[in-house]
Structure 1
Amino acid sequence: MFILELTYPGPLERVDELLDEHVAWLNAGYEAGVFIASGRQNPRVGGVILAVGDDRAEIEKLTATDPLLIGGACTYRIIEFFATTTAPALAPYRQQLP
């Protein structure tokens, strides 16, 4: 599983200009079953996406297509972890340690 941390290095106006495209990109990730949660940080200095998968390279390829990143409005920090314990509703996403 992955935590995708977005940081906005520039003005929020640039983020807002690309927000509709970013939301469409997010929706495609949800439809593909890759994203399970996302939202803004508070204060609004970036965002967070919780993504499922076992292949970091695939997640890196996916984040590279985010309109916010392409448009220079965000940077990504990708944190990979093993979700060995979850709330019951997230049981399908539990992972075993390698």
Structure 2
Amino acid sequence: MFVVTVTYTAPLDEVDPWRPAHGDWLNDLIARRLLLVAGRQVPLVGGVYLAPRMPAEELDRLLATDPYVLNGVANHAVVEFTPMLVASGLEILKSEE
């Protein structure tokens, strides 16, 4: 599983025009369960995603299609981790390794 942080590399007025396309991109990935959670950082300096287990190269390819990245207004940092403990009801996220 992966935690992805998004950091804006441009002022918000340069990020905002790409927000609708970025939202469509997120909705598509969530619908296909390629992302599990997406939200804004507080304060608004970027976002955070939770992505399921997949080859790291596949995640890199997906993230490269982010309209924010394609338009040079944000970048991503990825941390891979193995979920060992989960809250009740979220057992599907627990690693089988």
TM-score class, shorter: over 0.9
Superposed CA RMSD in Å reads 1.0
Aligned to 2:80: 80
Paired with 1:11 and 1:33, the residues of 2 have a C-alpha distance of 30
Paired with 2:69 and 2:47, the residues of 1 have a C-alpha distance of 12
Bigger mean CA deviation after superposition, 31-40 or 21-30: 31-40
Q: Which amino acid aligns with 1:90?
A: L
Unaligned runs of 5+ residues in structure 1 are: none
Q: Percent identity?
A: 34
Paired with 2:53 and 2:28, the residues of 1 have a C-alpha distance of 15
Paired with 1:88 and 1:33, the residues of 2 have a C-alpha distance of 20
Paired with 2:64 and 2:54, the residues of 1 have a C-alpha distance of 17
Paired with 1:8 and 1:40, the residues of 2 have a C-alpha distance of 11
Paired with 1:35 and 1:29, the residues of 2 have a C-alpha distance of 6
Paired with 1:53 and 1:81, the residues of 2 have a C-alpha distance of 9
Equivalences for residues 18-33 of structure 1 within 5 A: 18-33=18-33
- TM normalised by structure 2 equals 0.94
Paired with 2:89 and 2:60, the residues of 1 have a C-alpha distance of 27
Unaligned runs of 5+ residues in structure 2 are: none
Dislocated runs of 4+, deviation >2 Å:
none
- TM normalised by structure 1 equals 0.93
